[in-house]
């Protein structure tokens, strides 16, 4: 054994610290000695010492979001302002809000609506000529849904409210004609433009309409046996045991917001060997990521899960759109060694990085 026993009594309070430091120094030496053997443990034939390995990319975890869009929305009846286009079948989860009051004054001769006050995004109820609508209301339309809707309509009124604003979380955008996010203004009062010599209604003011896509990240993991991680360990590949059946799956962080699942869609899969020059097994050949087809454009779309027969050490690279933003991540497949210290993802990453950059372990 290269390590001294940690249980040896010295009678000095400083001795346990020195013992741990000495064990750490020896452990690093043994790591250096065993580095190349561990990295190449997945194949029967050792690669030449000068061969550079291909480590998985170092990817920083980052919550990203599409840009917030805010407009100043005027009061004109039936106005429509396109705020954003999200041409993704899975949609984009956004925080939406409408703020501020409009102000209206009505002539005494107006018969459909009487209001001399400020009112909120719900508008003012009118039943004139069977309209039964909320005049001058403000809402957001997307994916075939228009929200919010509804203004006070219970006699004797008032037939409007003065809330400071509205906010909610919406799934916006989509494929085809559902991709647009539009601010929509309701119709007018139903009264004529003029009541005698004066306008029937004078409306003023603007409202602020905002959509803010939520920040999210890709959570990519592999599953083998009881393992669920970004680095998986399998027995060595041999001519007898030529492959291992491994499941790779995308998901999003956070999983949901306000009870709505965070949308994500795989774009592509790509398998990379740790050693690009290693010869394939004569019978099993090499890992074929066509088992997980990349479908450009869709439908059908690239599956969010890849079940792959892995036939050598390497990593699967996933490019996935999470709430409208492309993310890339990888899961590595390495081989178990007899020394458990090598069966850690951080250790393997460090060894692969050293070898790929031309440093000997």
The pLDDT score that the predictor gives to residue 157 is 85
DSSP 8-state assignment for residue 281? B
181 vs 51, higher pLDDT: 181
The answer, yes or no, to whether residue 20 has pLDDT greater than 70, is no
Average pLDDT for 199-211: 97
Calculate mean pLDDT across residues 305-319.
Answer: 96
Residue 113 has pLDDT above 70, yes or no: yes
Domain range summary for the chain, segments of one domain joined by +: 15-59+217-356, 69-213
Query: In this predicted structure, what is the pLDDT of residue 349?
Result: 55
Residue 44 has pLDDT above 70, yes or no: no
If you search the block for the tokens 């407009």, which residue do you land on?
71
Strands 244-253 and 231-234, by their bridges, are unpaired
172, burial (CB in 10 Å: exposed 0-12, middle 13-18, buried 19+): buried
Q: Give the residue-averaged pLDDT of 317-332.
A: 96
pLDDT band at 358 (very low <50, low <70, confident <90, very high): very low
Q: How far apart are CA 25 and CA 32, in angstroms?
A: 11
Mean pLDDT of 173-202: 93
Q: How does residue 337 score in pLDDT terms, banded at 50, 70 and 90?
A: confident
Kindly tell me if the per-residue pLDDT of 18 is higher than 60: no
3-state SS, residue 346: helix
What pLDDT is recorded for position 50?
Answer: 46
Residues 273, 274, 277, 283, CA torsion sign:
negative
Lowest mean pLDDT among 8-17, 211-220, 315-324, 335-344: 8-17
Confidence of residue 338 (pLDDT cuts 50, 70, 90): low
Q: Which two tokens stand for residue 226?
A: 């009881």
Predicted confidence (pLDDT) at residue 91 exceeds the cutoff of 50: yes
Of 105-109, 266-270, 346-350, give the lowest mean pLDDT range: 346-350
- pLDDT band at residue 56, thresholds of 50, 70 and 90? confident
Q: Which residue has the higher pLDDT, 331 or 2?
A: 331
Question: Are 140 and 181 spatial neighbours (Cβ–Cβ below 8 Å)?
Answer: yes
Cα distance between residue 290 and residue 303, in whole Å: 12
Mean pLDDT of 310-321: 96
Average pLDDT over residues 94-110: 96
The pLDDT tens digits for 247-265 are 999 999 999 999 999 999 9
Q: What is the mean pLDDT of residues 209-213?
A: 98
Predicted pLDDT of residue 57: 74
Which helix (H) or strand (E) is 251 found in, with range? Answer: strand 244-253
**Dihedral sign computed on CA atoms, order 340, 346, 350, 351:** positive
Q: What is the pLDDT of residue 47?
A: 40
Please report, for the chain, how many H helices and E strands are present, in that order: 2, 25
Q: What is the mean pLDDT of the chain?
A: 83
Question: From edge to edge, which strands make up the β-sheet containing 92-99?
Answer: 69-74, 206-213, 92-99, 165-172
Predicted confidence at residue 38, as pLDDT, reads 46
């Amino acid at each position: 054994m290269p390590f001294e026993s940690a249980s040896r009594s010295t009678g000095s309070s400083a001795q346990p610290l020195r013992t741990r430091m000495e064990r750490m120094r020896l452990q690093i030496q043994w790591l250096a000695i065993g580095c190349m053997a561990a990295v190449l443990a997945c194949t029967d034939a050792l690669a030449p010492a000068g061969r550079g390995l291909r480590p998985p990319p170092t990817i920083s975890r980052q919550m990203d979001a599409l840009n917030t869009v805010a407009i100043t929305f005027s009061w004109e009846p039936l106005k429509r302002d396109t705020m954003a286009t999200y041409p993704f079948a899975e949609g984009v989860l956004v925080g939406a809000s409408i703020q501020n009051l409009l102000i209206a004054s009505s002539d005494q001769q107006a018969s459909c609506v009487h209001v001399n006050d400020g009112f909120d995004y719900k508008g003012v109820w009118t039943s004139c000529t069977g309209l039964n609508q909320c005049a001058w209301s403000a809402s957001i339309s997307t994916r075939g849904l228009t929200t919010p809707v509804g203004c006070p309509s219970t006699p004797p009124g008032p037939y409007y409210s003065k809330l400071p604003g509205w906010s909610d979380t919406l799934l916006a955008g989509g494929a085809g004609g559902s991709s647009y996010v539009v601010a929509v203004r309701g119709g007018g009062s139903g009264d004529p433009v003029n009541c005698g010599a004066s306008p029937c209604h004078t409306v003023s003011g603007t409202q602020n309409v905002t959509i803010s896509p939520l920040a999210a990240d890709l959570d990519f993991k592999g599953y083998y046996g009881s393992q669920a991680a970004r680095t998986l360990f399998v027995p060595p590949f041999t001519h007898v045991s030529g492959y291992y059946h491994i499941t790779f799956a995308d998901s999003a962080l956070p999983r949901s917001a306000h009870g709505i699942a965070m949308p994500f869609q795989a774009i592509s899969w790509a398998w990379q060997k740790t050693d690009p020059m290693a010869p394939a097994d004569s019978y099993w050949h090499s890992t074929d990521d066509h088992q997980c087809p990349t479908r450009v454009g869709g439908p059908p779309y690239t599956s969010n899960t890849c079940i792959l027969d892995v036939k050598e050490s390497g990593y699967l690279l996933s490019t996935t759109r999470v709430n409208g933003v492309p993310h890339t991540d990888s899961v590595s497949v390495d081989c178990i060694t007899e020394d458990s210290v090598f069966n850690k993802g951080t250790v393997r990453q460090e060894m692969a990085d050293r070898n790929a950059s031309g440093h000997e372990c």
